[in-house]
């Protein structure tokens, strides 16, 4: 009992501090720091990190273990307790499923204009350097280097490329200014100076992720390029007679099917700009399974397909673009199973007591 109360107190403190820190960190960063972590770390000015408080994973995991141990220690088989056991099993599965969701679910967004088709979603909190070989007119061949690898500022030799990639500088956030002093020798970055800026994490801000990368073929340098999420102009590097386009962009998650937006509808309450309803009529096409059908996505009515769930999230471009939240959650079914188990346990417990009451009356 003492351990249970202690864990409940720790969880309450996590909720309080996590809620207060949302003002400074934003929702996503606060959730990651306090709840999707084993420990909360204190970071010194020199960059050293020390654990100072248990995170949500550790507190939740210990809570589950404690509940399971207490249940089995005090478990006594009885027909009268079948319903209680089923209820406890449903609650245990609910807590376990929530923990697994925190650990393994992946969220991204798919923005589609009316009349266009997408086969990928994008994670706007993560970036990648895409090196695109467009020599085949039928399909682009893409080699993507995650920002986490760029941040190590090392030399990389991605498979499928005729050159190596040396990251000379990486900026988690940067300010770009026109002027001299740039380390770039090729591309549009030759006239742009880069200044490092503190990373931001609030919901309304985005980091301008940037890097200076040098491409080498053997011992020969092909030049140094500035790549950044803040640069919209196209850039490319040539090697072995081919042009490779460069793009530092939000990280993409490709899917083996396509979503075509046929129509987007946005209704508002009369006389106001307050959204009443917005929905997307899409065409789902999967060449592997032969799936080819329409689907209407709207509030509380997502599209589920191949382990992904597409929610209607937002819209833009004068109500001609739909933004779908794409969630990959391998344990999405656990809340439904938990509800069924709890309902079943309550029914069993009710019927057990009802039968006992009727026997007493007779």
Q: Residue-wise pLDDT tens for the chain (362 aa)?
A: 678 889 889 989 999 998 888 887 888 888 888 888 899 988 877 778 888 899 988 998 888 888 888 877 777 777 778 888 899 889 889 988 988 888 888 999 999 999 999 999 999 889 999 999 988 888 889 999 999 999 999 999 998 899 999 999 999 999 998 876 778 899 888 888 899 998 887 777 889 999 999 999 988 999 999 999 988 888 999 998 899 999 999 999 999 999 999 999 988 888 787 778 889 999 999 999 999 999 999 988 999 999 999 999 988 888 899 999 999 998 989 999 999 999 999 999 999 888 888 888 87
For residue 243, list its beta bridge partners.
238
In sequence order, the β-bridge partners of residue 194 are 176
The residue whose two tokens read 């042009």 is 243
What is the pLDDT at residue 351? 92
How confident is the model at residue 234, as a pLDDT? 87
Residue 295: HSE in the Cβ half-sphere, 13 Å Cα cutoff: 20
Tokens for 149? 């690898």
Q: Give pLDDT, residue 200.
A: 83
Q: Rounded to an integer, what distance in angstroms lies between the CA atom of residue 47 and that of residue 183?
A: 26
Say if strands 174-178 and 235-239 run parallel, antiparallel, or are unpaired: unpaired
* pLDDT score recorded for residue 227: 94
């Amino acid at each position: 009992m003492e351990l249970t109360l202690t864990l409940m107190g720790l969880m309450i403190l996590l909720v309080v501090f996590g809620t207060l820190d949302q003002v400074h960190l934003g929702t996503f960063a606060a959730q990651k720091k306090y709840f999707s972590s084993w420990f909360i770390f204190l970071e010194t000015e020199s960059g050293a990190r020390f654990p100072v408080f248990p995170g949500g994973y550790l507190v939740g995991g210990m809570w589950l273990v404690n509940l399971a141990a207490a249940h089995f220690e005090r478990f006594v088989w009885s027909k009268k307790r079948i319903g209680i056991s089923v209820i406890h099993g449903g609650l245990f599965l609910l807590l376990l499923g929530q923990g697994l969701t925190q650990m393994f679910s992946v969220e991204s967004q798919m923005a589609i204009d009316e009349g266009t088709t997408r086969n990928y979603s994008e994670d706007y909190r993560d970036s990648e350097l895409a090196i695109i070989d467009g020599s085949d007119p039928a399909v682009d061949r893409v080699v993507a280097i995650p920002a986490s690898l760029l941040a190590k500022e090392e030399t990389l030799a991605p498979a499928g490329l005729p050159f190596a990639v040396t990251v000379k500088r990486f900026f988690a956030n940067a300010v770009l200014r026109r002027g001299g002093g740039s380390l770039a020798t090729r591309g549009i970055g030759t006239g742009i100076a880069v200044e490092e800026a503190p990373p931001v994490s609030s919901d309304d801000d985005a980091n301008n992720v940037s890097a200076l990368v040098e491409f080498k073929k053997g011992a020969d340098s092909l030049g140094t390029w500035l790549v950044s999420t803040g640069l919209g102009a196209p850039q490319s590097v040539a090697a072995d007679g081919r042009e490779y386009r460069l793009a530092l962009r939000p990280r993409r998650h490709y899917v083996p099917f396509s979503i075509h937006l046929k129509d987007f509808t946005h209704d508002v309450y009369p006389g106001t700009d307050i959204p009443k309803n917005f929905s997307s009529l899409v065409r789902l096409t999967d060449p592997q399974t032969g799936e080819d059908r329409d689907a209407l996505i709207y509030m509380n009515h997502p599209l589920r397909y191949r382990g992904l769930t597409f929610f209607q999230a937002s819209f833009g471009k004068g109500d001609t673009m739909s933004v779908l939240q794409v969630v990959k959650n391998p344990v999405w079914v656990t809340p439904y199973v938990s509800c069924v188990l709890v309902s079943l346990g309550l029914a069993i417990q009710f019927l057990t007591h009802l039968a006992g009451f009727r026997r007493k009356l007779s």
